[in-house]
Amino acid sequence: MGSLLLRGGRIDGARLDLAMRDGRIERIGGNLPAAGYEVLDVPDRLVLPGFVETHIHPDKAFIADRTEGLRAGGPTAQTLVAELKKAFTVEDVYRRARRVIELAVRHGCTAMRAHVEIDALVELRAVEALRRLQADVAGILDLRLIAFAQEGIFHDAVTRDLLREALKAGLATLGGCPYMDADQRAHIDWFFDTAEAFGVPLDFHADSADDPAMLTSDYIAEQTVARGMQGRVSVGHLCMLDVLEPAHRARVVERLREAQIHVVSLPATELHVKGRADARRTWRGITRIAELRAAGVNVSISTNNVVNPFTPYGHPDLLRQALITAMAAHLGNLDQLAWLPELITINPARALGLADYGLAEGRRADLVVLDAPDAAQAITEQAEKLYVIKGGRVVARSTRRSELAPGLAG
Ligand SMILES: [Zn+2]
């Protein structure tokens, strides 16, 4: 494996060199010797650890053109996609999911945990496609898979067996969706029982709606502690936090913190899907990101959907998600813009339990170099990803360049 030297990048606010060898960060410091290295000059360009997706659906990406999408009084995104899923073939899923992964890598992603739908409609066809893809992209992306029950588990007699089969086949995380079953607690109990039996972490789509009576994240937190699974449970969406009374919300946030639940906000999807049936107000559905963070909860953001009825303009570019989040969640002051990158780097890495992640000597050399000196400018200008580096090797680079026409540049 080659040796690479990033020359003069911005690392934790200082201008430093970063040397990589054998897939690891070898040294970070000023004026490192270049002999024996391929040198990439990145003067005052922001160097971040590679972006990490914790919640994304490559199996149902790029199907927006197969349906009319959401309209007033029409079917939900779940209903539209459930119908389309019946026709998914292994090849079809593989081709669309591969497109998602290549886009994500080009935009700085070096690790991803993806949901793979398993139910009576698609059976194990998406599992087969994603497992093949996982092997095919191993050199450019750590791809982890969640056996996910988008349609619930109590509507048919096969989904629970198929989920167990997928875990036996090697999928390393189990994913539930309580609001798809009438008895949410029974759903949650089955997932904890099964996760314990297989020794795998859990990831729930939970509290996606705006009716506080449907709240489940407090029960998920309670079960996490009761079963000693602290730090091994993630919850995506959590939109309902936003409609709780402040004192109730504070109690739920405290329980999430105690249970070491990883929260994953999905702003692009919430902005498209939420508040559609309410004639009085258009609730935007983003969870309370700043409050969760201030309370000490590990909170991330993720892409969720890519070009389907849930998010027709979805794109696996986490820098774009950071800008959407800044706009949608009132996170625009200088302090907030400075910490927003945590939501797409170290926080999701913690949620996934990624070993040796981050910008420090000895860690894995998974990096992204942005064409901006700091996070605020990178987010605001949606800076180019100059280099995406995976295991000390350049896996993507920006070749785009625009400039003012001659005579206008001054
Ligand atoms: Zn999702």
Selection from 121, 304, 282 nearest residue 205 by Cα: 304
The pLDDT mean for the chain works out to: 96
Q: Rounded to the nearest whole angstrom, what is the distance from the C-alpha of residue 16 to the centroid of ligand 1?
A: 38
159 in Cβ contact with 123 (< 8 Å): no
> What are the pLDDT digits (tens) for 210-220?
999 999 999 99
Q: Rounded to the nearest whole angstrom, what is the distance from the C-alpha of residue 51 to the centroid of ligand 1?
A: 18
Selection from 352, 334, 347, 292 nearest residue 142 by Cα: 352
Q: What is the mean pLDDT of residues 102-120?
A: 98
Q: Rounded to the nearest whole angstrom, what is the distance from the C-alpha of residue 150 to the centroid of ligand 1?
A: 8
User: Which band of pLDDT confidence, cut at 50, 70 and 90, is reported for residue 410?
Assistant: low
For residue 71, the one-letter residue type is R
Measured between alpha carbons, how far is residue 321 from residues 113, 224, 307 in Å? 16, 29, 14
For residue 353, the one-letter residue type is G
Selection from 172, 153, 311 nearest residue 237 by Cα: 311
The conformation of residue 67, written as its DSSP 8-state character, comes to S
User: For 390, phi and psi rounded to 5 degrees?
Assistant: -125, 120
Q: Rounded to the nearest whole angstrom, what is the distance from the C-alpha of residue 180 to the centroid of ligand 1?
A: 13
Q: Rounded to the nearest whole angstrom, what is the distance from the C-alpha of residue 379 to the centroid of ligand 1?
A: 24
Residue 212 CA to residue 246 CA, distance in Å, equals 12
Tell me which residues have their CB within 5 A of the ion that is ligand 1.
304
Using left for φ > 0, alpha for ψ between -120 and 50, and beta otherwise, residue 368 falls in beta
Q: Rounded to the nearest whole angstrom, what is the distance from the C-alpha of residue 81 to the centroid of ligand 1?
A: 13
pLDDT at 277: 78
pLDDT score of 403 more than 80: yes
Residue 122 CA to residue 98 CA, distance in Å, equals 18
Q: Rounded to the nearest whole angstrom, what is the distance from the C-alpha of residue 278 to the centroid of ligand 1?
A: 22
pLDDT at 408: 81
The conformation of residue 391, written as its DSSP 8-state character, comes to T
pLDDT at 282: 78
Residue 105 CA to residue 113 CA, distance in Å, equals 13
> What are the pLDDT digits (tens) for 43-85?
999 999 999 999 999 999 999 999 999 988 899 999 999 999 9
Q: Rounded to the nearest whole angstrom, what is the distance from the C-alpha of residue 364 to the centroid of ligand 1?
A: 28
124 in Cβ contact with 160 (< 8 Å): no
Residue 279 CA to residue 158 CA, distance in Å, equals 39
Q: Rounded to the nearest whole angstrom, what is the distance from the C-alpha of residue 202 to the centroid of ligand 1?
A: 14
Q: Rounded to the nearest whole angstrom, what is the distance from the C-alpha of residue 307 to the centroid of ligand 1?
A: 13
Instruction: Count the alpha carbons within 13 Å of 204 in the hemisphere toward its beta carbon.
Output: 34
What does the DSSP assignment read for 74-135?
A: S--HHHHHHHHHTT--HHHHHHHHHHHHHHHHHTTEEEEEEEEE-BTTTBTHHHHHHHHHHH
52 in Cβ contact with 112 (< 8 Å): yes
pLDDT at 153: 98
261 in Cβ contact with 234 (< 8 Å): yes
> What are the pLDDT digits (tens) for 12-23?
999 999 999 999
pLDDT at 401: 77
User: Which band of pLDDT confidence, cut at 50, 70 and 90, is reported for residue 209?
Assistant: very high
pLDDT score of 393 more than 90: yes
Q: Rounded to the nearest whole angstrom, what is the distance from the C-alpha of residue 306 to the centroid of ligand 1?
A: 10
What percent of the chain is predicted at pLDDT more than 90? Answer: 91
Q: Rounded to the nearest whole angstrom, what is the distance from the C-alpha of residue 205 to the centroid of ligand 1?
A: 6
Residue 43 CA to residue 28 CA, distance in Å, equals 15
Q: What is the mean pLDDT of residues 88-109?
A: 98
pLDDT at 58: 98
Q: Looking at 274-283, 293-302, 367-376, which range is the least confident one?
A: 274-283
pLDDT score of 1 more than 60: no
Beta partners for residue 379, in sequence order:
none
